[in-house]
């Protein structure tokens, strides 16, 4: 049997594989995920998947990179040229974009959180670099346009990290998260208002 042709593996096929991998990795994690299941869901053979992505670790790293591409795109769309006057609107647009992303790619959030907690994972360095950049972007935005709106005694970095980590944890827990937070659908807006939008 011959090797798969490179040109037979088009952009649409690659996207199908990444979406299937996102779902399987999101449900089972890196170690328990099976390439056969990802390939079957994407409608290709396991050898074809390996030929084009190299290994399960490399595929996982690509899924994590795609997650951060999506997060950056969502933040970029929300971070319209900010000013002190439109600070509230930009903050809520960021929240709206992240909630929309979660609805479309719920499994990605669990993958990102798992990668953050596993220093030996194939995507750990990507997560450290990408996550740090996102946090820094948001901290600079808050410190520049809304520092006086922060909750008393809370730094911009503390507020951003508290919101992001709580949100990632809640989303990645699925049903358990709903039980612990005692809500079917997470609503981070009250916490955002308390931490970032305090009335003067």
CA-to-CA dists, residue 60 to 43, 66, 161, 174, angstroms = 18, 10, 24, 21
> Could you tell me the residue range of the domain that residue 50 belongs to?
1-54
Of 54, 73, 94, the last residue of a domain is 54
187 and 94, same domain (yes or no): yes
Cβ contact 148:122 at 8 Å: no
| Count of the separate structural domains present in the chain | 2
The tokens 């979406």 sit on which residue?
19
Q: Whole-model pTM above 0.95?
A: no
Of 38, 54, 70, the last residue of a domain is 54
50 and 66, same domain (yes or no): no
pLDDT in tens, the chain (200 residues): 455 455 445 778 898 999 999 999 988 888 899 999 999 999 999 999 998 899 999 999 899 888 888 888 888 889 888 888 999 999 999 988 888 887 777 777 778 777 877 778 778 888 888 889 999 999 999 999 999 999 999 999 999 999 888 877 777 776 777 788 777 666 788 889 999 998 85
């Amino acid at each position: 049997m011959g090797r798969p042709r490179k040109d037979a593996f088009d952009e649409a096929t690659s996207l199908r594989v990444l979406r299937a991998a996102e779902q399987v990795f999101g449900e089972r994690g890196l170690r328990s995920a099976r390439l056969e299941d990802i390939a079957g869901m994407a409608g290709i053979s396991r050898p074809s998947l390996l030929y084009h992505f190299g290994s399960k670790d490399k595929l996982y790293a690509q899924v994590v990179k795609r997650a951060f591409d999506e997060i950056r795109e969502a933040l970029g769309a929300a971070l319209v040229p900010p000013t002190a006057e439109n600070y509230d609107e930009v903050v809520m647009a960021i929240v709206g974009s992240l909630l929309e992303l979660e609805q479309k790619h719920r499994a990605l959030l669990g993958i990102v959180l798992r990668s953050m907690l596993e220093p030996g994972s194939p995507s750990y360095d990507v997560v450290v670099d990408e996550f740090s950049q996102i946090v820094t972007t948001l901290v600079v935005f808050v410190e520049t346009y809304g520092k006086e709106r922060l909750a008393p005694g809370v730094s911009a970095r503390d507020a951003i990290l508290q919101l992001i980590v709580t949100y990632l944890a809640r989303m990645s827990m699925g049903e358990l998260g709903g039980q612990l937070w005692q809500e079917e659908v997470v609503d981070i807006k009250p916490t955002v208002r308390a931490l970032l939008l305090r009335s003067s």
